[in-house]
Each structure stands twice: as C-alpha cells, then as structure tokens.
Amino acid sequence: MSNKKSITTPLTDDVVMNLRIGDEVLITGTVYSARDAAHKRLVELIDKGEKLPFDPKGQIIYFVGPSPSKPGKVIGSAGPTTSYRMNAYTPRMIEVGLKGMIGKGEMGAEVMAKMKEKKAVYFAAVGGAAALIAKSIVGNELVAYEDLGAEAVRKLTVKDFPAIVAMDCFGGNIYKEGTAKYEKK
C-alpha cells in the first residue's frame, strides 16, 4: 500500500526514516541538478578537501540534464536520467551530507550501503514525463559548471515535485522487491 507524503527540503534523518519504498512523495523546496560529469567534479573537490559550490547537507540531487527553457518558462523538459552512472560518486556525496537522490533505475549496492549507514533515500521520477515534471519546477538558478551545458549544477526550486521512494534507508529496494513479488515460484 502506498502512502502519499509531502516533504520539504532540506531533509532530516527523521524525514528520511519515515519514508518506505513505494511511498509517493511530493517534494517542495530546493533540489540541485547534477549528472555524471558534474558529480565527477564535485567528488574531486571533496577528495582535495575543497569547498563545494553548494552545501549538500540535507539536500537532494536530481539526476537531470534539462532542455533549455522556452521564453517565459523557468525550465525546459526535465526528466530523470539513468542513475547507475552516478554509482561511483553518490557514496562520497552521501558522506558529506546528501540526503536524497532522484533519478530513474536502480542504484548500486555501495550506494545502498551508504544510504543505510547515513540515512539517505533514493527517489524514482517517472521517465517519459519530462514536460509534466518540469511544471513542478518553479525556479532555476545556475550554481556551477556552466561549461557542462544542460549538465551544469543548478539550484531548482520545486513545488510538489512527484516521485516514488525506490530505495529507503532500511535496505528496501522497490526494484528487487517489486520483481520478486511477480516472479513465478
């Protein structure tokens, strides 16, 4: 049974611990965008002990490379990208305080282990609904790496951004549990 929950960023341990796989959420607040090229640069900064271009504590990163905005619009289409490309970087981001990620597809075992250790959550956004998802993005500000174009880090202001808890901080994984539910025994 799915529970619809409204959550606001930044996330706390209590909020994360109240989320279970299958929960439908509406996210309001700040969400940062970043894909693999930006993640690589962010982790290089962490490894050098340098300051990140934003404070990840309690924040969510949306794995997205939005299309350019049309006149009068905040953002173009903004659908999720495949999350496994961030597997190499996400554990380090969680170590420095990241509490949530939004993407599509399953993330790896190392990410799950770090989510359990540090109380983080992974949300799935619906692929193929980029134009609809973009309607929940009400603000868009460049933060870093403008040279990456659509993959630059952006501060997105969201209102009722729709997502589903796909992997929770207790080890729940909708990709594994959902598949197992329908396998023939």
The model's pLDDT over 21-67, given as tens digits with 9 standing for 90+, comes to 999 999 999 999 999 999 999 999 999 999 999 999 999 999 998 88
Convert the pLDDT of each residue in 67-84 to its tens digit.
888 888 899 888 888 999
Q: What is the pLDDT of residue 185?
A: 62
Token reading at 74: 């905040």
Residues 30, 33, 34, CA angle at the centre, nearest 5°?
145
Token reading at 31: 């969400």
**Does 82 map to a domain?**
yes
Write out the residue range of the structural domain in which residue 31 sits.
4-180
**Does 109 map to a domain?**
yes
Q: Which residues are catalytic?
A: 39
**Does 85 map to a domain?**
yes
**Does 110 map to a domain?**
yes
Residue 110's nearest CA partner among 99, 94, 128 is 94
Which residue type is seen at 171?
Answer: G
**Does 137 map to a domain?**
yes
**Does 56 map to a domain?**
yes
Is the per-residue pLDDT at 154 higher than 50? yes
**Does 153 map to a domain?**
yes
> For the domain that residue 73 is a member of, what is the CATH number?
3.20.130.10
Structural domains in the chain (count):
1
What CA–CA distance (Å, rounded) separates 52 from 63? 17
What CA–CA distance (Å, rounded) separates 22 from 182? 15
Say which residue the tokens 């993005």 belong to: 137
**Does 126 map to a domain?**
yes
Q: Give residue 1's pLDDT band: very low, low, confident or very high (50, 70, 90).
A: very low
Question: What is the mean pLDDT of the segment spanning 171-183?
Answer: 83
Which residue type is seen at 158?
Answer: V
Torsion from C-alpha of 92, 153, 108, 11, nearest 10 degrees: 70
